[in-house]
Chains A and B, each alone.
Chain A
Amino acid sequence: MSVAVTDVVHGCPAVDSLGARVVHTDRERYHGLLEGLRADGYDLFVGLTGVDYLTHPGRDLPDGVGPERFEVVVELWSVSDRRRVRVRCQVPGADPWLPTAFDVWAGAEAHERETYDMFGVRFEGHPDPSRILMPEDWEGHPLRKDYATGSVPVQFKESPDRR
């Protein structure tokens, strides 16, 4: 199902989602859109997270944006205008990666590490792509929908009989 496009921001369709301004994009247009938004005055990087749409593929997207397995959601704020915008970027599940936003906002660093850790979406060009919340030698990405709860053996780094 497609939703009504309110306007076009740097070549990407913007929609209204429960009162919030949301710009939809894909991997090709993602970095250019972020640079454009920064130039528009969105200077505070509020947050970045991922969503795994593996078991809920049917969601409302505007025309021209094809649904993919992963979505990276970026929340931005403009200090001078006190406005907010959200970017939703489609990331293919077969090879999940995005260009990093670290070269646009230094504040993206920890959020991108967390999203890599939890979803396995790699951010190319990130200075320190290691895991942030899970141990560095953890297997898998816990917030993916195919990562089961309740059936994972406890992994301790120094345990002699791990796994």
Chain B
Amino acid sequence: MSTTSRAGEPDQTSEGRRQGLLDRLRGKAGPGGEEITRRLLAETYEGAQELDARGRQSRPELEREMGGVLRLPEGVGLDPEDIDIDVPTDETMILNLGPSHPSTHGVLRIMVELEGETVLRSKPVVGYLHTGMEKTGEELMYHQGSTNVTRMDYLSPFFNELTFSLTVERLLGLELPPRATWIRMLMSELNRISSHMLWLATNGADIGAINMLVYGWREREVLLQFFEKVTGLRMNHNYIRPGGLAADLPDGWRDDVTAICDMMERRMDEYDRLLTGQPILQKRLQGVGPLTAEEAIDLGLTGPLLRSTGVPRDLRRDEPYLAYDQVDFDVIVGEVGDCWDRYAIRFNEIRESVRICRQICEAMPSGDYRTQDKKVTPPPRNRIDESMEALIHHFKLYTEGFRVPPGEAYVPVETPRGEGGCYIVSDGTSRPYRLHMRAASFANLQGLPRMARGALIADAIAIVSTIDPVLGDVDR
């Protein structure tokens, strides 16, 4: 079969792909010899990940990279014929941003095709932080699992632990004491503040408000100190576990949380003056990277990205988990769907989270912080010295783990980045048969080609910043 084809229409059959690969590999050989290397690779090779020259991309791939392929009702979306597909290749330049570029928030690599300073196509290339955590999760017992998942979205570790624990508890059919639920809610909301605070800091740095970087980290530091006081660790806490929590809140927690709330309210007013009224910031964000509601829904975006287009989707209200139906808060939505709306949403969500934290301080029930189901919760340390049964339970729990009935469950939560969920298939043993984390950042990155199309390269940086991807979450 011929491998040559007209420019723009490469041979897309699997035989054509294989031939193309073999051509590419000519002269390169591993220790097994050229023939072995070729045969092994050709079995699973499906093409390059990088953004390629226009002449070598297929039409659907090209449209995808231009953000043009959307399933929208007639008249709403982009006309596929409208795509400037005939720009001569010699007038455009493919530029590689990342993977170690400071403004890409981790090891995100973005390849953009530029005409002058205007972005024509873009493609996020991910996977540089992939460590196979879902595979690791299949090896760990359920009580060890939260140490693994907490490292995925490292800026909102409590949400990873929460969705994992809620899914395991759904499979077990476990009811939690109310105090455990409310402490989980408190830690989630404080985590939302710290995550948004870090976003505010890095977003400021990305678009030139460098002083915000220092202030944002300063506020986050106060929250991390509280997390350390409660959980013993600043990040990767392993605090929310299947069956409840690792420990109760320390004495004086209410004063700490109240102090944090007072400080955040005061400081948010300051940042409002520092940032929101700033003409430079407004010029950098307003009208940049706009999305319509139809586009955001079709691309599968969630969280602040979807809410910025006016869709009031917040799982805390739409599918209340924990005790979110018992607290009063507003779902912040935007109107235009540009970077400015996304900025405003995160900014005001911090204020809403402070509001929720104050209500939690008022309403925190007393009682146990974990379930007393002896098959899930290990006995307290001092009981082990006194009771043979406690010793046996402790030994069994830490050597064999607890068994989870066969089945499958998916429980989503509203993380600072959108819908974060955990899908677990159990085969009845003490390890998950399959553990999948639905990562909000991973899905949200799909919006980049659409948002960046036609923007300036400097705007693309602002757009990546307002997507707020955490690469630990994208790559897992």
A interface residues, Cβ below 8 angstroms from B: 17-20, 43-47, 49, 51-52, 56, 59-60, 73, 75, 79, 82, 84, 86, 102-111, 114, 116, 118, 120, 122, 127-143, 149, 161-163
Closest residue on chain A to residue B318 by CB atoms: A82
Query: Closest CB of chain B to A114's CB: distance in Å?
Result: 8
> B48 at interface (Cβ–Cβ under 8 A)?
yes
Chain B neighbourhood of A59, CB < 8 A: 406, 427
The 8 closest A-B pairs by CB, nearest first: A107-B300, A127-B60, A133-B127, A56-B427, A45-B300, A130-B47, A133-B130, A47-B438
Interface string of B116-139 (1 = CB under 8 A from A): 000000000011001010111001
Query: Closest CB of chain A to B113's CB: distance in Å?
Result: 15
Mind listing 23 A-B residue pairs with CB under 8 Å?
A17-B408, A18-B170, A46-B438, A47-B438, A73-B436, A75-B410, A79-B297, A79-B313, A82-B318, A86-B410, A106-B446, A109-B64, A111-B443, A120-B44, A127-B69, A128-B61, A131-B127, A135-B127, A136-B47, A137-B41, A138-B44, A139-B43, A163-B31
> B301 at interface (Cβ–Cβ under 8 A)?
yes
Q: How far is the CA of A138 from the CA of B46 in the complex (A)?
A: 10
The prevalent SS among residues of B at the interface is mixed
Chain B neighbourhood of A79, CB < 8 A: 297, 311, 313
Chain B neighbourhood of A129, CB < 8 A: 46-47
Asked if A130 contacts B60 (CB within 8 A), the reply is: no
Asked if B46 contacts A116 (CB within 8 A), the reply is: yes
> B298 at interface (Cβ–Cβ under 8 A)?
yes
Asked if A47 contacts B311 (CB within 8 A), the reply is: no
Query: Closest CB of chain B to A16's CB: distance in Å?
Result: 11
Query: Closest CB of chain A to B441's CB: distance in Å?
Result: 11
Asked if B423 contacts A130 (CB within 8 A), the reply is: no
Asked if B127 contacts A130 (CB within 8 A), the reply is: no
> B63 at interface (Cβ–Cβ under 8 A)?
yes
Q: How far is the CA of A70 from the CA of B99 in the complex (A)?
A: 33
Query: Which of A82, A107, A110, A127 is close to B319, meaning CB atoms less than 8 Å apart?
Result: A82
Asked if B135 contacts A106 (CB within 8 A), the reply is: no
Q: How far is the CA of A141 from the CA of B299 in the complex (A)?
A: 26
> B425 at interface (Cβ–Cβ under 8 A)?
yes
Closest residue on chain B to residue A128 by CB atoms: B61
Query: Which of A52, A110, A140 is close to B445, meaning CB atoms less than 8 Å apart?
Result: A110
Asked if A46 contacts B127 (CB within 8 A), the reply is: no
Q: How far is the CA of A128 from the CA of B32 in the complex (A)?
A: 30
Asked if B48 contacts A132 (CB within 8 A), the reply is: no
> B49 at interface (Cβ–Cβ under 8 A)?
yes
Query: Closest CB of chain A to B247's CB: distance in Å?
Result: 29
Asked if A128 contacts B47 (CB within 8 A), the reply is: yes
Query: Closest CB of chain B to A58's CB: distance in Å?
Result: 9
Chain A neighbourhood of B46, CB < 8 A: 116, 122, 129-131, 136
Query: Closest CB of chain B to A112's CB: distance in Å?
Result: 11
Q: How far is the CA of A10 from the CA of B172 in the complex (A)?
A: 32
Query: Closest CB of chain A to B69's CB: distance in Å?
Result: 6
* Interface residue range, chain B: 35 or more
B14-45: which residues lie under 8 A (CB-CB) from chain A? Answer: 30-32, 40-41, 43-45
Query: Which of B30, B425, B443 is close to A47, meaning CB atoms less than 8 Å apart?
Result: B443
Closest residue on chain A to residue B438 by CB atoms: A47
Asked if B48 contacts A133 (CB within 8 A), the reply is: no
Query: Closest CB of chain B to A90's CB: distance in Å?
Result: 14
> B246 at interface (Cβ–Cβ under 8 A)?
no
Asked if A105 contacts B298 (CB within 8 A), the reply is: yes
Q: How far is the CA of A108 from the CA of B43 in the complex (A)?
A: 24
Query: Closest CB of chain A to B290's CB: distance in Å?
Result: 17
Q: How far is the CA of A141 from the CA of B170 in the complex (A)?
A: 30
Closest residue on chain A to residue B67 by CB atoms: A106
Chain B neighbourhood of A49, CB < 8 A: 423, 436, 438
Chain B neighbourhood of A116, CB < 8 A: 46
Q: How far is the CA of A8 from the CA of B125 in the complex (A)?
A: 40
Chain B neighbourhood of A106, CB < 8 A: 69-71, 298-300, 446
> B153 at interface (Cβ–Cβ under 8 A)?
no
Q: How far is the CA of A44 from the CA of B306 in the complex (A)?
A: 10
Chain A neighbourhood of B132, CB < 8 A: 142
Q: How far is the CA of A52 from the CA of B134 in the complex (A)?
A: 13
> B334 at interface (Cβ–Cβ under 8 A)?
no
Query: Closest CB of chain B to A147's CB: distance in Å?
Result: 8
Query: Closest CB of chain B to A158's CB: distance in Å?
Result: 11
Q: How far is the CA of A102 from the CA of B155 in the complex (A)?
A: 30
- Beyond A51-B434, A104-B71, whether A18 also contacts B318 by CB under 8 A is no
Query: Which of B127, B299, B311, B423 is close to A73, meaning CB atoms less than 8 Å apart?
Result: B423
> B409 at interface (Cβ–Cβ under 8 A)?
yes
Q: How far is the CA of A86 from the CA of B410 in the complex (A)?
A: 9
> B407 at interface (Cβ–Cβ under 8 A)?
yes
- Beyond A17-B409, A163-B32, whether A139 also contacts B44 by CB under 8 A is yes
Chain A neighbourhood of B47, CB < 8 A: 128-130, 136
Chain A neighbourhood of B438, CB < 8 A: 46-47, 49, 75
Query: Which of B45, B71, B407 is close to A105, meaning CB atoms less than 8 Å apart?
Result: B71
Q: How far is the CA of A103 from the CA of B28 in the complex (A)?
A: 37
Chain A neighbourhood of B319, CB < 8 A: 82, 84
Query: Which of A86, A133, A136, A141 is close to B45, meaning CB atoms less than 8 Å apart?
Result: A136
